[in-house]
Amino acid sequence: MEKNKNRWLVIGLTLAVGLLLMSQLYFTGQEQTVTVQEGKEQDTAAEPISVSSEIIRLERVTEQRLEQILSEIEGAGKVSVTLFLVAGPEYNYASNVNSSKRTIEEQDQAGGTRITTEVDEETQLVMSQAASAAGDRPVVVKEIKPDVQGVLVVAEGASSPYIKETLSRAVQTLLGIPAHQVTVLPRR
């Protein structure tokens, strides 16, 4: 009887520790909490930014700005915004291009001419020296904003057709997107 109790106790403890470890492995890295603080520069040297975390950060910042702006509209009341981006921003980087062109003209004994053109091109990314410990970073010439897939606005005043249309047009204007990508619903 004592052996069975000890055996069940060991099995139970082993299962509990296994479940604890599995839950730790499952939840680690599954969900990232992104906090956005405007006006505060983040240290990117500590943790590399992945594309998905950059998209999430952009979505959250844009949602917060839209909520602030839309809640200022008369009759809108409390406003919540959910935004979905198709992809992250694209960057065009500055680069130094060194190219040389060499043309060789050869004539054979039969009077024929052969022209050979050789082009060597070397491209090097232009880097700026950062004052922080983050190191050098490439110089961005142009940033292409990401496309918006859709926006959902939930507002207290959206039960009024006029407020609903006003909120929809405001989102369309602010983001430069067509009406079919904006949905405005009343808050319960």
* 78 backbone φψ class: left, alpha, beta (φ>0; ψ -120 to 50): beta
Per mean pLDDT, which range of 30-39, 53-62, 63-72, 127-136 is the poorest? Answer: 30-39
Residue 57 has pLDDT above 90, yes or no: no
pLDDT band at 6 (very low <50, low <70, confident <90, very high): low
Domain boundaries, the chain: 73-88+145-188, 90-106+115-144
Report pLDDT digits (tens) over 62-105: 888 899 989 888 988 899 998 888 877 777 888 888 888 889 88
Mean pLDDT over residues 100-121, rounded? 87
Q: CA-CA distance, 69 to 175, in Å (whole number)?
A: 12
Between 116 and 86, residue with greater pLDDT: 116
Instruction: Find the distance separating the first CA and the last CA of the chain, reported in whole Å.
Output: 60
| Prediction pTM value | 0.51
Rounded to 10 deg, the angle between the 51-71 and 161-175 helix axes is 140
Give SS3 for 177.
Answer: coil
Kindly state the helix (H) or strand (E) to which residue 57 belongs, with its residue range: helix 51-71
Q: How does pLDDT run across 131-179, given as a tens digit for each residue?
A: 666 677 788 888 777 788 899 999 988 889 999 999 999 999 988 889 9
Provide the strand spans (E) within 39-94: 79-85, 90-93
Task: Indicate whether 26 pLDDT > 50.
Answer: no
Does residue 46 register a pLDDT over 50?
no
